[in-house]
Each structure stands twice: as C-alpha cells, then as structure tokens.
Chain A
Amino acid sequence: MLHTLAVLVENNPGVLARVAGLFSRRGFNIDSLAVGRTDNPAISRMTIVVEGDERTLEQVTKQLHKLVDVIKINDITKEPHVERELVLIKVQADRAARLEVMQIAGVFRAKIVDCGPKTLTVEATGTEDKINALEEALRPYTIKELMRTGKIAMLRGARYTTVK
C-alpha cells in the first residue's frame, strides 16, 4: 500500500542525500519525493510517497527520525488532506490534432503553456488519479515529453505539520 508522509527537515546541505540514501540502503521503495523550502527558509518540507505494509512503514518512520536533520514526520495517508501534483506534457499536435488536444486539456482544466509548430505543452495540477487520466487521454496523440513533480500534500483545516 502507498503511504504519504509529510516530513519537515532542517535545510542543511546534504539533507536530501541523507533521506534518499536511507531509503535505498534499507530497501524501502520511494514512489515519489517532492521537496522545497517552507515559509521558514531554515526548514524544508518533503512529501514522500512510500510503498510498504504497516511494519515497513513503522521502520521507515523510525529510521527517518534517527536522522538528526529530520524534525517531524506525519503519516497523513488516512487523515483528511489535500494533495496535488503538477505535470507538464508536450504532445505532438499538428494542425489536425491541435483542437482535440486543446479540448481534452479543457476537460481536465489544464492549461496550454507552450505552442510550438508541431507540439502543444499542457500543464495540469491535480490528484495523482487526475494526472494519470490526463496522461492516458493524451497518449493517442503521441507524448513527446512528460514531467511530473511528484505529489505534495497538506492536512486539511486545523491540523498542521509544523514546528511548534
């Protein structure tokens, strides 16, 4: 099963290598990892999607906690939360296909962010499912390039993953 972890870390050099190295050497599978700074520039936040059963997840969490730079870990999988992923898809779109691609983008509330002579680049945000669906819808037009950010996630309402 996939678990979504919200992790706060000190924004020190090498912190990403520490986290990534831990996952690989302990044999944990990262499905996606997104990282960036928070409102406090000294603290970065990671959203890590990890695959494994409850016991694996317990080990992941405990081993992550042993990293001195890791400040807080929330497993938000079962909590109400907002999750988003951003994707850029460059699709082959000659004159005949152009309108159809734009219509599909419209259905997904995606934006056309670049218009080349033979391609269109579509930007979309949403849940993983929505991004997957968009990808499938565009596949018949030949996807030339695709880049996903990995999921970022946050608890809803009055619950926080912050430093006290």
Chain B
Amino acid sequence: MSALTSHLRKYTAAPVCHDIQINGQLVGLHDSGVLWWPDEATLIVADLHLEKGSSFARRGIMLPPYDTATTLEKLAAVMDAFDPARVICLGDSFHDADGSDRLPAPYRAMLTTLQLNREWIWVTGNHDPVAPVRLCGETVDEIQIGPLTFRHEPVEQIGATAALGEVCGHLHPAARVRRFGRSIRRACFVTDGSRLVLPAFGALTGGLNVTHEAFSMIFKRRKYSVFMLGNDRLFPFTATRLVGD
C-alpha cells in the first residue's frame, strides 16, 4: 500500500481547487479529475470503470488486473483529502453490468470502507445500467440537487433547459495543445459555464479529444474551455487553442 500512503501525503494539505461557476453554483475542479461542491460537501467522480481488466480478460484479452486497485487507491486518497459528506459516482462506475459482482473481496471491503458514514449515490451509465450488487448506496438514473443535475450522458442539445446545470461524464474528454512542434494530450474538464463534463477517473480509461464531433452536440464550436490535468495543478485553455488528434 505504499502507493496509497504516498497519495495520502500528497493530499493531506487542504486540497486546492480551481473554482468555477456552473449554472451559478461555485464548484471546484481538482487536478485528480474529481469535482468538489463545497456548499453541499459533495464529491463527484465520473467513469471509474472498475473491473475493466477482468471484463477484457473474459474475452481473452488479458489486461493487467491492477486497474481496480489503482483506481480505488487514487479514490481513497482523494476522499481522505476532501472528507465529503456525499459522493456521487457519475455512471460507468463498473465496466460492465457484472462488474460489481466480480469485484474481488479485498476491493469490496475497501470500497465499503470508503462508503462508511457517507451518503453514496450511484448514477447508472451505459456500461452499468443496473444497481451494483452487494454494495451500499442509492442507485438513480439521474439526480437533481439545487441548480445542478447529475447524469451520466449529456443531453445532446445545446442550450436546452435540461443542459442548464448539467454535470456529466461518459465522454472521457481529453485535449491536445501544440507547442514547438510537440503536442501534449491530457484528460480534462470541459465546460461552457452552463454544463460541465468530467474527465474519466478510472485507471485504464482512455480519452476522447474534445474536438471530436461528439462534443459538438453539446458545446457550441469553440465556445468552451478545458482544464487539462497536470501534476498538482490544472491548465486552462480556451477551445480555440486546442488541436485535434
């Protein structure tokens, strides 16, 4: 558990977040890829994709079986730093519908410990459309708290009422910037002030470039900003500075 303790050390100082407003609510973006909502003491995390490795192994592709451990250790460190009263997992928490059933005992124990004394909300996703088995927490398709709505997939309409205050995951946003002929690609938050897409948190989750047309269904062309995840800080860019893959 040395990785865990090093994470602990890293986050025991009060976590510094990049504060932005979504639909008028002050929320903090954190460089670990989670969203912190101070007024509600709520931590939001998207696309954990737990048990992705074993999901592939079932099909004969033997990805390393360490993804669940890595993701949970990282999550534990973040939880320790923020100590939230409520946690919202924004869907695709498990890579497939049987994922929670396959979850090995030590990780189940670890996850259960994280859930102690907290309100825990599982939002369903396309990978995990059903409630996880043998785990605490309330399962919902989406949930509205104050001016914010939490759902897995963004509503594919720009400027719709439903899009106002929407916080979602699903797309695994990543952005690329170019400097001196070299380019850097990182996972990122994407927002236009009205809605926010979180980066995928899971260890084996790839990213989709924000210039991909999937994002043009939810943000106006070039009218959004990204916050790329760096080591210990976020790097903000406006959409005009980004390049495709």
Say whether A associates with B.
no
* A interface residues (Cβ-Cβ under 8 A, vs B): none
